[in-house]
Structure 1
Amino acid sequence: MTADLSRLSLNTATTKRWTLREAVDGAVRAGLPAVGVWRDRVQEVGLAEAAKIVADAGLRVSSLCRGGFLTAEDDAEATAALDDNRRAIVEAATLGTHELIMVVGGLPEGSRDLVGARRRVADRIGELAPFAAGHGVRLVLEPLHPIFAADRAVLSTLGQALDLAEPFPAEVVGVVVDTYHVWWDPDLQPQIARAGAAGRIASYQVCDWILPLAADPLLSRGHVGDGYIDFPTITRWVAEAGYTGDVEVEIFRESVWDAPGDETVGTLAARYREHVQPYL
């Protein structure tokens, strides 16, 4: 493993066509020390086998994605969501990661009550926090770009995520800085500093903002350096805030998924060396 890749993690969403074993093997071939794992990859092989695959390869799991979707108004749906999040917490602990990424959910069908949805998220994080703490897992709140507020995440800024996290110990509730979602925020630098001062930065995820937007904006991510995001500046802010953990590359894009997996990993490693690693 070359020193300049010592903090680079392959998020399995980036190589969507690969199984978990293929993603782990690809990371090993490229000299990466870590993988960020999505739950669908775990479910394909079962939790015990997933943990064994990663451990046998000598990799660390930088995060598990995802928990969340906590905005339901219906009691039965809310109970089901809490139960699923408890399962996700157990999965994270079994895989050996402390970080469970939380995409909190959008508006329930037919609702326009954004304030109420955010209140329910806060209440349900409160319900989950003791269970997470008991398993040594941190709930990592992910603010998503406002374009996703209706259907995916009623948390849109890092400041909002930090406000929600504040009542809880930093080792129990943290935040992720995902460049795709927060690069536009004029308050980003002070909020990253705030997160660092509180010890709440649990993950740093990188990919670029690509135009024109795809029909599904979720698929408008691209390789670092292909779009509009100032990675040196944001990375410096994250480093100055004291973050020393892994840097995950997480890309949702059909052309990236269709490329050979080893080519994708090679590209993301080269872009990381150029645009991110020198500023950590």
Structure 2
Amino acid sequence: MTGRKPGAERLSLNQWTTRRWSVPEAVEGCRRHGIEAIGLWREPVAEHGLSATAELVRDAGLRVSSLCRGGFLTGDSWLRDNRRAVDEAAELGAACLVLVVGGLPGVVPGEPLSGFSRDLADARTRVAEALDALVPYAEERGVRLALEPLHPMYCADRAVLSTLKQALDLASPYPADRVGVVVDTFHIWWDPEALGQIARAGAEGRIASYQVCDQMHPLPADVLLGRAMMGDGVIDFAPLTAAVAAAGYDGDIEVEIFNADVWSADPDEVLATMKQRFADLIVPSLA
């Protein structure tokens, strides 16, 4: 017996939560804190080396709960990079490849507006057309794509998918084991249809990942960094987590936090707090 509460073994560290840790440091941190899964990001994986990362994670006995990220499908040069992302997810044995689908064509995160399109409907059409090309490639390599709807404040530059319903509608032409969705508390907690759409996602077998973090209030000037440790913001995790559990999702649950103060803190202290908050705020609703 490990002495863990039921569900605690499902905790996964999304690598961006401890952003200053390299891949080896994050893997060792998981081992040290008894965390059994990790969500990897492509940039630090590339820095350490894809094959080296796959071997390191495998030797540590960790599950790769996701690889982040592919996507940005609304631009003109997305295909090669996304095929590469699929190949990386396959080699890592990731449970899914998270797709952040992209914003309005020509709008670049963090850059001034110049030469862009305001045609939101066309941007969403581009995403659907891109999936038609990408899904067969992922299927051949045994990789599940996971569409992540983002909070509407990121619609212009990061994701023209803003609700779980939109993501499910976009996924619906494809087998559920090929295209799923990400349920991220930060991005969907505000949506009055969230609980019903989680139930729908469960009925369709489409929940590929459950990610948790809180939303800060007030938000910082850079809203990308508006995530917080569970319990330090405004989100009520109990109904969302209970809905995900009732929907039949029994996979890993990632804590993914973009927050300057969390990033500057001692990563070991972050993991200790993360484990305690997960036990207090997430695990009880999994039963």
TM-score by length of 1: 0.96
Taking every aligned residue pair, what percent have the same amino acid on both sides?
59
Q: Hey, what does 1:69 align to over in structure 2?
A: 72
Alignment size in residue pairs: 274
2:124 aligned partner, one-letter code = R
Decide which of 125, 150, 153 is 2:131's aligned counterpart: 125
| Matches of 2:255 and 2:95, distance apart in 1 | 18
Q: In 2, are the aligned partners of 1:98 and 1:136 still within 8 Å (CA)?
A: no
Q: How do 1:44-55 residues align onto structure 2 when only pairs under 5 Å count?
A: 44-55=47-58
Q: Hey, what does 1:182 align to over in structure 2?
A: 188
Q: Hey, what does 1:37 align to over in structure 2?
A: 40
1:249 and 2:267 aligned:
no
Shift, 1:2, TM fit:
4.9
The gaps in structure 2 that reach 5 residues or longer are 107-115
| Matches of 1:89 and 1:246, distance apart in 2 | 20
Q: How do 1:200-211 residues align onto structure 2 when only pairs under 5 Å count?
A: 200-211=206-217
Q: Hey, what does 1:81 align to over in structure 2?
A: 78
1:98 and 2:95 aligned:
yes
Shift, 1:83, TM fit:
0.7
CA-atom RMSD in angstroms: 0.8
| Matches of 1:262 and 1:275, distance apart in 2 | 20
Q: Hey, what does 1:57 align to over in structure 2?
A: 60
| Matches of 2:143 and 2:242, distance apart in 1 | 27
Q: 1:136–1:3: structure 2 CA closer, same or farther, 3 Å change rule? A: farther
| Matches of 1:163 and 1:201, distance apart in 2 | 13
| Matches of 1:26 and 1:2, distance apart in 2 | 20
Q: Hey, what does 1:28 align to over in structure 2?
A: 31
Q: Hey, what does 1:145 align to over in structure 2?
A: 151
Shift, 1:45, TM fit:
1.1
TM-score by length of 2: 0.94
| Matches of 1:210 and 1:2, distance apart in 2 | 32
Q: Hey, what does 1:173 align to over in structure 2?
A: 179
| Matches of 1:93 and 1:279, distance apart in 2 | 32
| Matches of 1:255 and 1:176, distance apart in 2 | 25
Q: In 2, are the aligned partners of 1:63 and 1:99 still within 8 Å (CA)?
A: yes
Q: Hey, what does 1:135 align to over in structure 2?
A: 141
Post-superposition Cα deviations, 1:114-159, rounded to whole Å, max 9, x if no partner, equal: 0000000000011000011111111100000000000000000000
The gaps in structure 1 that reach 5 residues or longer are 73-77
Decide which of 229, 234, 237 is 1:228's aligned counterpart: 234
